[in-house]
Structure 1
Amino acid sequence: MLRRTGITALVTLGAAVAAPASVDTSARPGGVYRLKPGIYVQKGVACQTAPNVAIRQYDGRGISTAHTRACRARVLSRKGNRYEVSQSCIDAGAGPAPRFTERQTVRISDALTFALLDRGTGTTYRYCPAYMLPSGLRADKR
């Protein structure tokens, strides 16, 4: 009986030690859209092999692409989970470039999923944790 209790205690202790390694320590959902900040990939595309065109990054202030940065969304109106915004971005992934502004419609499904809508249809993106991203995106988180 005592030996069985000791083994149970070791198994329980081992599980408790392993748990912190799997806990998500990245930023909590928040910002303009109440999404989890990070990399999002188009639904149906694997996180590990996503091409640039299928990747978006949310930093709490706006949604950027591989070819834009420093995006800032200003909410014009909100109806439920649907946002009409004016978003301003620098028109280059790196280096000097002009800032441009465009209107967007964004539908937030939950803290890990959103869609960019265009004429009623849209493209859905889902959050990809850092460990699932290609090494190039993990290194600089972009």
Structure 2
Amino acid sequence: MPILIMGAAAATAAAASADTSPQPGGVYRLKPGIYVRKDVACNTAPNAVVRYYDGRGINSAHSRACRARILSRKGNRYEVSQSCIDAGAGPAPRVTERQTVTVPDALTFTLKTHGKGSTYGYCPAYMLPAGLRGFVR
């Protein structure tokens, strides 16, 4: 009998931590959700190092409704023109920026607009600060 109780407890814990977010896909074949620059822990990430991938583009804390248009692709490296509303909220103009996005796997990307670029890794909802958890579907 104790084995059944322990087994049920383990199954409940596993179900509670299961990732139910969408599968990788969209423009870059990345898992939709929150990404944090690789040198920063998910649970302490300030807005400046957070990106949100929704399958159409990579948004920041200061942009939204981003849409990437692929200009060229070589392997896992994309040259894109990304258009975003240039504000986190409220009315703002749409701006377009040329970017290079490299996607080595479904949970990691490097974004380069000028200079070296930054690498970001996927953060599951349970690892995010409470204020960011609402952005994850």
Runs of 4+ in 1 over 4 A off after TM superposition: none
Which of the numbers 10, 14, 21 marks the counterpart of 1:26? 21
**TM norm structure 2:** 0.91
* Structure-1 residue corresponding to 2:52: 57
Deviations 1:78-134, CA, capped at 9 Å, x for gaps? 100000011000011000011011110000011110001256732100111111111
1:76 aligns with 2:71: yes
Q: Which has the larger radius of gyration?
A: 1
User: Hey, what's the Cα distance between the residues in 2 that align with 1:66 and 1:45?
Assistant: 16
Q: Tell me the TM-score normalized by structure 1.
A: 0.88
Contact 2:98 2:113 in 1 (8 A): no
Among candidates 43, 50, 53, match of residue 48 of structure 1? 43
Q: Which 5+ residue runs of structure 1 have no aligned equivalent?
A: 1-5
- What is the CA–CA distance in structure 2 between the aligned matches of 1:26 and 1:49, rounded to whole Å? 21
Which residue pairs with 2:86 in the alignment? 91
Which of 89, 96, 101 is equivalent to 2:96?
101
Identity %: 71
| Partner amino acid, structure 1, of 2:57 | G
Q: Give the aligned length.
A: 137
Structure having the higher helix fraction is 1
**Partners of 1:75 and 1:62 in 2: CA distance:** 11
Shift of 1:140: 4.2
